[in-house]
Amino acid sequence: MRPYLGAEVSLIAIGVTLIAGVYLVAVLDRVLGAAVAGSPIRTRLFLAEPALSAAQLLIQGRRTTERPDAAGWVFAPALFLGLAAVALAMVPLAPDLVVADPATGFVVFSAAIAFVMIAVFLHGWSPNSPFALHGAYRYAAQALSFQIPFLLAMLATALPAESLSIVDIVRAQEPLWNVVRQPMGLPLYLIVGVAVSFWGPLNLPDGSDLADGTSVEDSGMARLLWKLARAAMLVAVAAMGAAGFLGGWFGPVLPGPVWVLLKTLLLLVVLVGSGHLLARVRIERFVTIAWAILIPLALLNVFVSGFFLL
């Protein structure tokens, strides 16, 4: 039985990490937006603004539509947040400091990512509104397309480890980090990582061309919860990228967990910054790219890393 944190400590750890991570994503969004646009970075305002906008959403009135699927509408953000928590629970901070380390941790993480499809579809289907359903269908196309490149990109990291457990995958990077051994892996992972939480250039389901897509009828607490869940999933994806590609807890001077946080911060800057640097991609183009370009690249990545292992 691998060592893991106790139940209460785990809950607190994941809760704190999610809240801190979501706040960090919100602040980074504003800071990077100001940096790219060339406007001054108003530190105090940017640090306080996420809390202010969250408070404003909380006092906003609840809005409903005609004959919604009420249970599904409430369930979708909760499911999304739960999946983000499960995905984050798979990331190890140190060889003996992990919430859960099943022998098939990689598959649990991938299952959590796959279930996001269900959460977004429910969120778009439930309000009984055309733009929301449109957004849900877009995410269905987007998610089914990126699943295979996602699995293949992460699978290549499991090859040197000869194990599906995330702790083993990080341990196998002791001689050399995966970003150096498998150079195509991290860019692929980041591209589909942006697609999982539909951030920035791949914000097709909740895009502004659909008047906020699946969130079009959301207001108040539900809207806040959906935004939180999306940001939380982004944090989980960044954390797993840090563990799988950037060597997890390995680093010269600082203790292991601090390195994990620093690497997660780096990937978060990249993921959140992509929203301010890249234009939104059309769904047809993304689907074509995912099936025709990303899958061959991911397969090539797996073959090359397997070849060098034999």
**Interacting residues toward another protein by CB under 8 A:** 67, 69, 72, 102-104, 107-108, 110-111, 114-115, 117-118, 121-122, 125, 128, 137, 140, 143-144, 147, 164
Nearer to another protein, 28 or 158 (CB): 158
Cα–chain center distance at 35: 23
Nearer to another protein, 7 or 279 (CB): 7
Quote the least distance from Cβ 205 to another protein, whole Å: 13
Q: Which two tokens stand for residue 182?
A: 């498998």
Nearer to another protein, 127 or 200 (CB): 127
Based on its alpha-carbon atoms, the radius of gyration of the chain, rounded to whole angstroms, reads 19
* Cα atoms in the 13 Å half-sphere on the side-chain side of 32: 19
Residue that the structure tokens 């995912």 belong to: 290
User: What does the angle CA 251 – CA 252 – CA 258 come to, to the nearest 5 degrees?
Assistant: 50
Nearer to another protein, 49 or 69 (CB): 69
Quote the least distance from Cβ 241 to another protein, whole Å: 19
Nearer to another protein, 46 or 137 (CB): 137
Quote the least distance from Cβ 165 to another protein, whole Å: 9
Which residues are bridge partners to 94 per DSSP? Answer: 97
Quote the least distance from Cβ 213 to another protein, whole Å: 16
Burial label for 2, CB within 10 Å (0-12, 13-18, 19+), is middle
Quote the least distance from Cβ 308 to another protein, whole Å: 19
List % helix, strand, coil for the chain (3-state, nearest 5).
75, 0, 25
Rounded Cα distance between 292 and 294, Å, is: 6
Quote the least distance from Cβ 7 to another protein, whole Å: 11
Nearer to another protein, 122 or 290 (CB): 122
